[in-house]
Amino acid sequence: MARVVIFGATSAIAAEVAALHAARGDALHLVGRDPAKLAALAERLGSAPVRPQVTRADFADLDANEALVTRVLAQLGGADVALVAHGVLGDQLESERSFAEAERIIRANFTSVVSLLVPLANHFEQTRGGRLGVITSVAGERGRPRNYTYGACKGALNLYLQGVRSRLYPADVSVTTLKLGPVDTPMTVTHEKNRLFAQPAAVAADIVRAMDARRSQAFVPRVWAAIMPVVRLTPEVLFQKLRFLSGR
């Protein structure tokens, strides 16, 4: 039985990850912002061998996150697996007009994640083992007009995780960067869907497999591993002329 903590546990994807771990009989601690959603998820998983613990938290409260991690880990008796899964898309156009919206997106998708990763990395380094996973996005592979504020956060997070991964390697801690393509969730409810949109349950299964295998990074679904090198390496002078890539 593994001890698993999930930050942002009430998102559609993270909830499916929690269900997979619950089915294994793992001890879960679910952390999220919405108490009603946390209660509903705990009730959904209540028939698992170990009933999940829950903690309500606002990750945007940066000064509180170190104490939050310390408290959650103490209640769980430590952690073998941690997944950081929270984030928001935000309003790209508004972030171009208003620094307040840009800062909100940055805080949700980068700064708040780092504020959790600092104490989590310290914990795993001290315990000499474990698996740490962080959900980022294929949007972090290249700046595109439709989502570059969000994408910049994910790109910075990818780079940060490279450093954490190398730092924790001697302590036998795996750090998995989970680069997700678009998923059919409430976060993307207003987006026009196409065949590249994945379903939460399938994405969750890929996440668990990647973390079990202690992979350094995983494109989820795997098709993005073939697509993104083309997007990333297309010369900018050509990229800007290809409206399906550089358009809004």
pLDDT of residue 241: 82
Q: What is the pLDDT of residues 113-132, one digit of tens each?
A: 999 999 999 999 999 999 99
The DSSP symbol for 33 reads S
The DSSP symbol for 86 reads -
Q: What is the pLDDT of residues 173-223, one digit of tens each?
A: 999 999 999 887 776 666 666 677 889 999 999 999 999 999 999 999 999
pLDDT band (50, 70, 90) for residue 95: very high
Nearest CA among 117, 154, 153 for reference residue 132: 117
pLDDT of residue 187: 67
**Cα(56)–Cα(179) distance, integer angstroms:** 26
Helix (H, G, I), strand (E, B) or coil at 49: coil
Helix (H, G, I), strand (E, B) or coil at 231: helix
Nearest CA among 86, 87, 84, 79 for reference residue 28: 79
CATH architecture, range 3-246: 3-Layer(aba) Sandwich (3.40)
Q: What is the pLDDT of residues 13-52, one digit of tens each?
A: 999 999 999 999 999 999 999 999 999 999 999 877 778 9
| Residue 176: its H or E element | strand 173-180
Residue 154 pLDDT more than 70? yes
Opening angle at CA 13, ends 210 and 74, nearest 5: 80
pLDDT of residue 242: 79
The DSSP symbol for 10 reads T
Helix (H, G, I), strand (E, B) or coil at 22: helix
Q: What is the pLDDT of residues 48-74, one digit of tens each?
A: 777 899 999 999 999 999 999 999 999
pLDDT of residue 237: 87
**Cα(22)–Cα(2) distance, integer angstroms:** 10
Enumerate the domain spans of the chain: 3-246
Q: Residue written as tokens 């840009």?
A: 102
**Cα(179)–Cα(76) distance, integer angstroms:** 28
Dihedral pair phi/psi, residue 159, rounded to 5°: -65, -40
Dihedral pair phi/psi, residue 196, rounded to 5°: -85, -10
Tokens of 33: 């912002």
